[in-house]
Amino acid sequence: MALRRAVLGVGTFLWCCLGLAVPATYGGRVTADEPQYLLSATSLVEDGDLDIADELAAERWRDSHEAALPEQTKLLDGGRRISPHDPLLPVLLAVPVALGGWVGAKLFMAAVAGALAVAMVAVIRRLGVPERRALVTVGAFALVSPLAVYGTQLYPELVGALVVTGAAGALLALPSRRGAVGLVAAVALLPWLSVKYAPVAVVLLVVGLVRLLLLGDRRRALAVAAGAAGAAAVCAVGHLAIYGALTPYAVGDHFVAGELTVMGTSPNRLGRTRRLLGLVVDRDFGLAAWAPGWLLLLPALGALARDGVRRRRPEAWLVALPLAAGWATATWVALTMHGFWWSGRQVVVVLPLAVLVVARWGPSERWLLAGGVVGALTYAWVAVEGLADRLTWVVDPWRTTAPVMRALRPLLPDLAHPGWLDEVRWVVWIAAAVALVASGWRRQDEDAAAGEGAEADHPLVDAHGDRPVG
């Protein structure tokens, strides 16, 4: 068991390294926010602080970003400049950057991807899923977009995904002391990676507290609440000390109307509702465009909903509610899903929860294998084209000649620049999504009637799969 998980982790690390040298833009190995994280990490190593004024003046980004760098920073008192991004990722990148520059940083992210794959298997086993299915499911999603791509992108997304995976394991381990400590640690870390993860952290905390109260452990619930409150206070004080505000956006030069404009100056919440499904099926930025296996999440959600409603299984809601919080943030809070980054960035932090859902409530392994193979081949195809300087990760990845991607594009709606035909495609995909969710609901009913169903009667198990948890 341990050997197979180790092989998966190492394999994921090596697979992500395939994309390490693919340029982010023409003339840049990294772009957008990535140079900011590198500069902050460099400042931590050399100066012991987050002030990147001297790094900017010396153009320290030139080894990884040949073009001019948008500074993103306000000029602060004393000539200081602090990058408008939370500090935990630069802290984690400091040693890798000191040892290997941008290459060391990307190798670190690939290692995070490998650790995430192993962690997902461990948590999936806690849901009562057999080892083989857990390995197949994780392989089908860890080796495809967007998890594989962000395995070499310098953003907090993948680290956040690892923390959320740990939080899911902690929730399933409650009311144990280990579960309580793990939950508080995860809730404490997420806002230091990015304040946009705060809604997910809050939902994880609330779900944990409700679970403890339902289990009758009020003392431990009080301890978790106190620990989380203390962590929130430290986070607030720390941000005020570093940024002079509760969020790092206060030191950014492009939030002229205040920190909250990071969500948009006049956001159309109703219009953003399209992202609920668009995050999956958009032509360029949807998950399914690059890895069709993500469509398996839809019937899995139908099965989860039916299982949670009919059998009142707590594990269904422990996984579903934090996933919903992250998806809602990407839908209604994020400024856009069509940004200057690889697709899926806004939901990466909760995609491990989607993998848990597919593993526990999704279709058979042959569908997982098919989706995984197609997605992995597309990722490899794009990476090879990038290594050959035919495209980049950010500017023009949709120019790829990957066969499945080219075949899917005419079927998917362009929600960034929709024409009348895109609106037709959009309606068709809404109908298809409803049908897929309904198919999962019906399958769960049929499995229950037959007395079988995707491990439906397995208890929650520990990491070794041999005794009940909680």
Q: Which residues contact 325 (CB under 8 A, 6 or more apart)?
A: 199, 200, 202, 203, 350
Sign of CA dihedral 249, 151, 235, 224: positive
Please give the helix or strand (H or E) that residue 354 lies within, else none. Answer: helix 351-361
What is the model's pLDDT at position 463? 38
Provide the number of structural domains found in the chain: 1
Residue 49 included in any domain: yes
How many residues are listed for the chain in this entry? 470
Residue 457 included in any domain: no
Residue 456 included in any domain: no
The string of DSSP letters for 93-134 reads HHHHHHHHHHHHHHHHHHHHHHHHHHHHHHHHHHTT--HHHH
* Residues 401-440 pLDDT 10s: 999 999 999 999 999 889 999 999 999 999 999 999 999 8
Residue 466 included in any domain: no
Residue type, 253: D
Residue 459 included in any domain: no
Residue 468 included in any domain: no
Other Cβ atoms closer than 10 A to 278 = 23
137 and 464 in contact (C-beta within 8 Å)? no
What is the model's pLDDT at position 265? 63
What is the model's pLDDT at position 123? 96
Which range marks the domain in which residue 261 is found?
2-65+75-450
- Return the biggest CA–CA distance within the chain: 72
Q: What are the C-alpha distances in Å from 29 to residues 94, 154, 158, 189, 429?
A: 18, 11, 18, 28, 36
What is the model's pLDDT at position 173? 93
Distance CA 385, CA 369 (A): 24
**For the chain, which ranges sit under pLDDT 70?**
68, 254-265, 310-312, 444-470
Residue 460 included in any domain: no
Is residue 423 helix, strand or coil?
Answer: helix
Residue 203 included in any domain: yes
Q: What are the C-alpha distances in Å from 183 to residues 133, 186, 196, 352?
A: 26, 5, 18, 16
